[in-house]
Structures are given as structure tokens and as C-alpha cells.
């Protein structure tokens, strides 16, 4: 396939593809049109993110074109973090109305004698019980009558809620009973069923997922309707937390699967960059304006079923990332003891850092980069926003007075502290998991990533850095490199040794048919789907499982038993003389990505000359090179600043940058 050709596989798809990543500070847009990629940045509009998207497409001249939009959104995430989701009624089996309030009794502050009081996700007045009860074997012990369900519907109506989360005990074994409740509640409410959201064991985690889906679903639905109204010619898909996409008309039903939507796009793009550069193992760092996401990539998108959001367990398949409140807009300040602090508070998009010239007074990491000269003063952020150097200097002077030092020393302190925060996050995702990053490459992207890449690599002892093409909008580019897909599961809870392989084959076939039906409804060709079957196994008596691929061949139980013993020994250092249980069947279904390769680098004008700017940090002139004016394989020694419309890279002294054939900058320490 030509690197410039879209992998449509569907003649009905629009010829123009658009990836959108909505961040806390900027909204990034990447579009593929007529064989070329174009991109842009606009300030986000937190009150209604769809306005920034429409404005960004208008600036690219695409707002009235028939386009395919793949969107990474933080609308659901913000609704949870800010507690602005829909009001929810929680319906469960009789005697289990307190499940969400009791939770797991985990102590957030392990050694505190008194734990801080935490409000339950749903108040007790909105937790309702029905006389339907299923046991662990799937037998129906009690069943609510039609009259009781009608009374339930009337009670819900008096609460004035917008959504209902239904989570019966062992619901995955008798989903028809939750369907009865949904029918009784009618069509006016947003109803979320646990047997559809997360058909797995653990009623608390299943209940939280169902509640999150019910709370966020109406918010997502309203937002996507506004976006569709603003882009009437667009066909819209949304990025899921697992790095796959779902059509907008199905997205609200899968709302809980969108809570890590934005960061997943960056990982999808990082996988593509890894393939192009021949580096399967990458430590990724996505530094935006508000936060920084880090991950460890080893050929495939790293997934986990054990994450959390706002303190709530999120057992939905999602990209395995670690996020910290450190970005270009992170605010620097001095505490009561005279200590310099950076983040997690952010200046956001409005008014933004002092250097944005929009009235912001807070000094941020971006201001520090500008004061030290790593950001040239004539830089246009996003290709259109000029920097206010005087405002940045004034803000840094105020911070310097509080610290009792000079302007440049304060700026260096801000960057040093921000770098330590990010290096610590990189160690969490690598060293603390038993992985030595020194022989891997550090992939830095986001609007601010390239300004910190060299120092972060030095802090971790790494020798290679990759700054990808379109680094400043890579998450938006990743939307185009993402795959339509579904991640489905089915609980089993039985000894592995006694499993009927024919029954397992039937169960997997049913999951594959469900995934295919949903994707075909989005316009995906069923003949191009890839299915990956896996089993979640554990020792009898354990609560945590290990997920393993199902190998082809005969005698599944003995093979998978031995594979589980080996995996447990590798993870824990020992095997147990216990029987192995099959907890869940897991299926991952994927369709081809819309764009499966990076665009070839086309130098605008190969030029050996460059302008120079005075860099206060080094007290000397340093060259400023434009990335699209560099030739492929051209070596650029540091110190040097390399700019493009969406991002700026700082090549520190002792480092050398070299452009590959796809426009990715590969930095290495000189002499290595």
C-alpha cells in the first residue's frame, strides 16, 4: 500500500479523513485529503468542545465537506472528574442495595486511623431493590412480578432521574431479567444494563461500570448531537479507551468505554511510528498543555482491565497509561515554606499561560521555555497564536522575587522540577514494573514533548529519542491510525479441566457474531475482521486472573493449564498445587485502520542555512531550523531548535538529530 493511500475498504466512506483530539488547552486536528496530510490547532472551548472542532475544520476549509471524523473526546472524562454526569437511579437484587456504598473497603491512606469520608456514587435514596435473584449456577431463585416492576418504574419516575443503572446479582447468567426491567422502565430514560456493559463476575466493579455508563451516556449523547449539528456533512466515529473506534450513533451506549478516549489516540499513533522506525519497544510520553501521559509500548497497544478514574475502579479494557498533572500549562508557584511547586494546576486555554497574551498572570512551564529561549519569541503556537515575551518575563520575575533568585534561575527551576515529575512517571511505567528503559527509545510527542525530550532521556539513562512527524498533533493523527473494533467478554466461573470445548467454541462464535454485527452496522467489511480469542484464568481461591491467548490445537485444557502455570510463575515466581479456574472468555475484534502508514517526508525546500536566535539559557546564538526544510537523513547537531507549525524541539548540547524518510526526528547522543 502506498503510504499516502487510505485503507478504506468501503467505497461509501468519505474521501476526506479527519482525526480530532480535544485537550484541556488545545484541540488538534489532522486531515487526509488528496493524498496529503494537513493539520491545525485551535484553543479548546471547555464549555462546548464541539465549537473548537467546528472552528478548526473551518480554518482548514473542511467544515462543510463530507468528511469521516474520528474523534478522541474528554467530555465523558470531565463529566466524571467534575461530577457533572446525569443523575442515576441504581437498581439491584433485594438485599444488595448497599453494594456501591460498601465498595471494597480499601484504605486510600493506609496508616491513617480515621479515613476521609467519601460519598457513595449513588445516594441511598436512589438505590432501589427488586425481588429478582439468580444464583452462581444460573438458577433463578426469585423473580419480580410484572406488578412489582411496574411499581419500580413508578418509583423511579418520582426520583426525577435521567438514567437508570441495572445491576442484578449474577446478571451475566440471566440477562433476560435485566431486559425485563429495562422494558418496564420504558424508552424515556437512559437505561444501562450490567449484563451488556460488563458481563463479568464481581458485582461491585460491574456496578460501578454500569453506573458510570448510565451517568456519562446522556452527556455523550447530547455532545455528539451538537457536534453532528455543527458538522452536518460529517460521518463521526469516537475513539474508545482500548484504542479502537465506535460509530457516534453507538457511542453513548458504550459511554464507559470512552473515558480514556483521548490518550488512546496517541498510543495508536505511537504503534504506527514504532513500525515505521523499526522500534517495537518504546517508552512514550505525550506532553500536552494540561497533563502528561506515559506508556510502555511493545509492538502492540498495551491494555489493562485494572485502571481507575476519579478513584473509581474501571475494569473496562483500556490503554495502559499513567497520567500526571504536568504539561506546558502547569502553573509554577511558591508555597508557604518557600518551596517551588509545579502543577498539577493548569492555566488551561482561557486565560492560559502568561505568554498567551490573553490576560493570564500565572507563570507556567511554557513561559519558562520561552524565557530561556527554547521557544523562539516569534513562534506561533498552533501556527497562529503569537507569544507575548514581555508578559512571560514579567510573570517569571514575580516568581523569581518569591524565590529570591534571578529570572533565568527561576525558569530553570521550573523546567527542572517539571522534568523530574515526568521522569518519575516514566519510571513508574517502566522501572517499577521490572523493565530497564536504557536500551529502548523514548518517543516524545504532544505540543511540549520535544522541548523536554533530551533531558528526560538523560534522567533515565536513555540514548535514543524519537520525535515523530506531526508530533504536536500526534494524538489526532493516531485517530486516523486507529482500528474500528470491539472488546467483548463472557463469564464462565468453572474449573478449566471440566470445560466442554464444543461449548467454548460456540460461546466464542457468538461473541464474534456480536462484534461483527456491531462493526458491520458501522460500514465495516465483515470479511476483513480479525478475531483474537483469550481466556482469563486463575487458581482456585484467587481473585485476580491472568489473560492468555487461546492456542490452536487439541486438548485445550491441558495446554492452557500448563500455559497458566508458566505465566503465573513468571509473574509471581512460583506455581501452586491448585486447580485452575476459567473466569472469563475474552474476545478482541479489529478491522483495518483507515490509514495504515505514515506519509512520506517531502522537504519544502532543502536549505543548509538557518536563522539564529539568542538563547538566554546558554548565553549564545543557536540555530533555528524548520523541520520541513530538512532533507531525509540530514544530521543536525545540538544545540539547535527545530520548529514546525504544531511543535518545537530542543536538541540539547551533546545530541544530534537526524530526519528519517517519513519526517520523524531521531535524536541520539553524539558519539553513540
Here the CATH number for the domain that contains residue 236 is 3.30.420.40
The closest alpha carbon to 298, from 433, 422, 450, 424, belongs to 433
- Give a yes or no: residue 600 inside a domain: no
pLDDT tens figures, 99-126: 999 998 877 778 888 877 788 999 999 9
3 — pLDDT class (breaks 50, 70, 90) = very low
Number of residues that make up the chain = 672
For the chain, percent of residues with pLDDT exceeding 90: 49
Residue 118 DSSP one-character state: -
With 70 as the cut, is the pLDDT of residue 197 above it? Answer: yes
Here the CATH number for the domain that contains residue 487 is 3.30.1490
For residue 270, how many C-alpha atoms fall within 13 Å in the half-sphere facing its CB?
Answer: 34
188 contacts 156 by C-beta, under 8 angstroms: no
Clarify whether residues 76 and 225 are in a common domain: yes
- Give a yes or no: residue 595 inside a domain: no
Strands (E), 311-361: 312-314, 318-319, 322-324, 330-334, 340-346
Clarify whether residues 115 and 152 are in a common domain: yes
| Residues ≥6 apart with Cβ < 8 Å to 114 | none
598 — pLDDT class (breaks 50, 70, 90) = low
With 60 as the cut, is the pLDDT of residue 6 above it? Answer: no
7 — pLDDT class (breaks 50, 70, 90) = low
Specify the range with the lowest mean pLDDT, choosing from 114-123, 239-248, 442-451, 606-615.
606-615
Burial class of residue 350 (count of CB atoms within 10 Å of its CB; 0-12, 13-18, 19+):
middle
With 50 as the cut, is the pLDDT of residue 5 above it? Answer: no
- Number of helices (H) and strands (E), helices first, in the chain? 16, 37
Total count of domains within the chain: 4
143 contacts 181 by C-beta, under 8 angstroms: no
Clarify whether residues 161 and 199 are in a common domain: yes
Q: Which residue has the higher pLDDT, 522 or 126?
A: 126
Phi, psi of 553 (to 5 degrees): 135, -175
pLDDT tens figures, 545-570: 899 998 765 568 888 999 999 999 98
- Average of pLDDT values for 481-493? 89
With 90 as the cut, is the pLDDT of residue 74 above it? Answer: no
- Give a yes or no: residue 163 inside a domain: yes
Clarify whether residues 178 and 226 are in a common domain: no
Clarify whether residues 499 and 578 are in a common domain: yes
11 — pLDDT class (breaks 50, 70, 90) = very low
Clarify whether residues 70 and 92 are in a common domain: no
Report the run of H or E that residue 514 belongs to, with start and end: helix 501-520
- Give a yes or no: residue 192 inside a domain: yes
Clarify whether residues 207 and 240 are in a common domain: no
pLDDT tens figures, 364-387: 999 999 999 998 888 887 667 788
- Give a yes or no: residue 301 inside a domain: no
The Cα-based distances of 10 to 51, 67, 472 in angstroms read: 29, 14, 30
344 contacts 330 by C-beta, under 8 angstroms: yes
Phi, psi of 372 (to 5 degrees): -80, -5
- Give a yes or no: residue 277 inside a domain: no
Report the run of H or E that residue 607 belongs to, with start and end: none
- Average of pLDDT values for 193-199? 95
Which of 525, 559, 590 terminates a domain? The answer is 590
Q: Which residue has the higher pLDDT, 47 or 9?
A: 47
Q: Which residue has the higher pLDDT, 277 or 465?
A: 465
Q: Which residue has the cell 511543535?
A: 647
- Average of pLDDT values for 622-651? 87
The closest alpha carbon to 666, from 604, 616, 618, 601, belongs to 601
pLDDT tens figures, 316-328: 888 898 888 888 8
| Residues ≥6 apart with Cβ < 8 Å to 435 | 296
Read off the pTM: 0.83
CA 501/CA 535 separation, integer angstroms: 13
Clarify whether residues 33 and 110 are in a common domain: no
Helix (H, G, I), strand (E, B) or coil at 614: strand
- Average of pLDDT values for 58-77? 88
pLDDT at 20: 93
26 — pLDDT class (breaks 50, 70, 90) = confident
pLDDT tens figures, 388-437: 999 999 999 999 999 999 999 999 999 999 999 999 999 999 998 888 99
With 80 as the cut, is the pLDDT of residue 264 above it? Answer: yes
Rg of the Cα atoms in the chain: 26
- Give a yes or no: residue 435 inside a domain: no
Clarify whether residues 55 and 149 are in a common domain: no
Which of 557, 590, 623 terminates a domain? The answer is 590
CB atoms within 10 A of CB 464: 19
Report the run of H or E that residue 110 belongs to, with start and end: none
Partners of residue 238 on adjacent β-strands:
71, 246
pLDDT at 4: 45
64 — pLDDT class (breaks 50, 70, 90) = confident
- Give a yes or no: residue 447 inside a domain: no
b/e for 155-192, b at 16 or more Cβ within 10 A? ebeeeebbbbbbbbbbbbbbbebbebbbebbeeebbbb
Clarify whether residues 92 and 207 are in a common domain: yes
Clarify whether residues 24 and 97 are in a common domain: no
pLDDT at 644: 84
Structure-block grid coordinates of residue 628? 520541513
pLDDT at 382: 65
Clarify whether residues 498 and 567 are in a common domain: yes
pLDDT at 2: 38
- The pLDDT mean for the chain works out to 88
pLDDT at 605: 56
- Domain housing 523: 483-590
pLDDT at 110: 80
Partners of residue 104 on adjacent β-strands:
none
pLDDT at 112: 83
Amino acid at each position: 500500500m502506498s503510504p499516502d493511500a487510505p485503507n478504506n475498504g468501503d467505497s461509501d466512506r468519505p474521501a476526506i479523513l479527519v482525526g480530532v483530539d480535544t485537550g484541556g488547552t488545545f484541540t488538534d486536528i489532522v486531515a487526509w485529503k488528496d493524498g496529503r496530510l494537513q493539520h491545525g490547532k485551535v484553543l479548546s472551548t471547555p464549555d462546548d468542545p464541539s465549537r473548537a472542532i467546528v472552528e478548526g475544520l473551518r480554518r482548514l476549509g473542511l467544515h462543510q465537506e463530507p468528511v469521516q471524523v474520528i474523534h478522541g473526546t474528554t467530555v465523558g472524562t470531565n463529566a466524571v472528574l467534575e461530577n457533572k454526569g446525569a443523575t442515576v437511579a441504581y437498581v439491584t437484587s433485594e438485599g444488595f442495595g448497599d453494594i456501591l456504598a460498601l465498595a471494597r473497603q480499601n484504605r486510600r491512606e493506609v496508616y491513617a486511623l480515621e479515613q476521609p469520608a467519601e460519598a457513595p456514587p449513588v445516594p441511598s435514596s436512589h438505590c432501589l431493590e427488586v425481588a429478582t435473584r439468580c444464583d452462581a449456577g444460573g438458577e433463578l431463585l426469585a423473580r419480580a412480578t410484572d406488578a412489582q416492576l411496574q411499581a419500580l418504574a413508578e418509583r423511579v419516575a418520582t426520583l426525577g432521574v435521567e438514567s437508570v443503572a441495572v445491576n442484578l446479582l449474577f446478571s451475566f447468567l440471566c440477562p433476560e431479567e435485566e431486559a425485563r426491567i429495562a422494558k418496564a422502565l420504558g424508552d424515556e430514560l437512559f437505561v444501562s444494563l450490567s449484563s451488556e456493559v460488563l458481563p463479568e463476575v464481581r458485582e461491585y466493579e460491574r456496578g460501578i461500570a454500569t453506573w458510570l455508563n448510565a451517568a456519562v451516556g446522556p452527556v455523550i449523547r447530547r455532545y455528539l448531537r451538537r457536534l453532528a449539528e455543527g458538522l452536518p456533512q460529517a460521518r463521526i466515529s469516537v475513539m474508545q479507551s482500548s484504542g479502537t473506534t465506535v460509530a457516534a450513533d453507538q457511542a453513548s451506549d458504550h459511554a464507559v468505554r470512552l473515558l480514556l478516549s483521548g490518550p488512546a489516540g496517541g498510543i495508536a499513533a505511537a504503534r504506527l511510528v514504532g513500525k515505521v522506525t523499526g522500534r517495537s519497544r518504546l517508552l512514550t510520553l505525550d506532553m500536552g498543555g494540561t497533563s502528561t501521559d506515559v506508556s510502555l509500548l511493545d509492538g502492540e497497544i498495551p491494555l489493562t482491565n485494572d485502571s481507575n478514574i476519579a478513584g473509581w475502579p474501571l475494569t473496562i479494557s483500556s490503554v495502559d497509561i499513567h497520567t500526571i498533572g504536568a504539561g506546558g500549562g502547569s502553573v509554577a508557584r511558591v508555597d508557604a515554606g518557600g518551596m517551588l511547586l509545579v502543577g498539577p494546576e493548569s492555566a488551561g486555554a482561557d486565560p492560559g499561560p502568561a505568554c498567551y497574551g490573553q490576560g493570564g498572570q500565572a507563570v507556567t512551564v511554557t513561559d519558562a521555555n520561552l524565557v530561556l529561549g527554547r521557544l523562539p519569541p516569534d513562534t506561533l503556537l498552533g501556527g497562529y497564536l503569537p507569544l507575548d515575551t514581555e508578559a512571560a518575563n514579567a510573570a517569571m520575575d514575580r516568581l523569581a522575587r518569591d524565590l529570591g533568585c534571578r529570572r533565568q534561575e527561576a525558569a530553570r527551576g521550573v523546567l527542572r522540577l517539571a522534568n523530574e515529575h515526568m521522569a518519575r512517571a516514566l519510571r513508574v511505567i517502566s522501572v517499577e514494573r521490572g523493565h530497564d528503559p536504557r536500551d529502548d527509545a523514548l518517543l516524545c510527542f504532544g505540543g511540549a514533548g520535544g522541548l523536554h525530550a533530551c533531558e528526560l532521556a538523560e534522567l533515565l539513562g536513555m540514548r535514543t529519542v524519537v520525535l515523530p512527524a506531526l508530533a504536536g498533533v500526534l494524538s489526532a493523527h493516531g485517530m486516523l491510525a486507529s482500528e474500528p473494533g470491539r472488546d467483548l467478554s463472557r463469564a464462565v466461573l468453572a474449573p478449566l479441566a471440566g470445560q466442554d470445548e464444543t461449548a467454548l467454541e460456540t460461546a466464542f462464535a457468538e461473541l464474534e457474531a456480536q462484534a461483527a454485527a456491531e462493526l458491520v452496522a458501522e460500514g465495516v467489511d465483515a470479511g476483513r475482521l480479525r478475531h483474537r480469542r483469550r481466556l482469563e484464568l486463575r487458581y482456585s481461591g484467587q481473585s485476580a486472573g491472568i489473560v492468555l491467548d487461546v492456542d490452536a490445537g487439541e486438548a485445550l485444557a491441558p495446554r492452557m493449564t500448563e500455559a497458566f502455570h508458566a505465566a503465573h510463575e513468571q509473574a509471581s515466581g512460583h506455581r501452586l498445587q491448585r486447580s485452575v479456574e476459567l473466569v472469563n472468555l475474552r474476545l478482541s475484534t479489529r478491522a483495518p485502520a483507515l490509514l495504515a502508514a505514515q506519509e512520506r517526508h517531502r522537504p519544502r525546500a532543502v536549505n543548509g542555512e538557518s536563522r539564529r536566535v539568542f538563547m538566554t539559557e546558554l548565553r549564545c546564538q543557536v540555530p533555528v531550523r524548520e523541520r520541513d526544510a530538512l532533507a531525509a537523513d540530514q544530521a543536525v547537531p545540538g544545540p539547535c531548535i527545530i520548529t514546525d507549525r504544531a511543535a518545537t524541539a530542543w536538541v540539547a548540547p551533546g545530541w544530534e538529530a537526524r530526519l528519517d524518510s517519513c519526517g520523524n526526528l531521531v535524536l541520539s547522543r553524539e558519539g553513540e
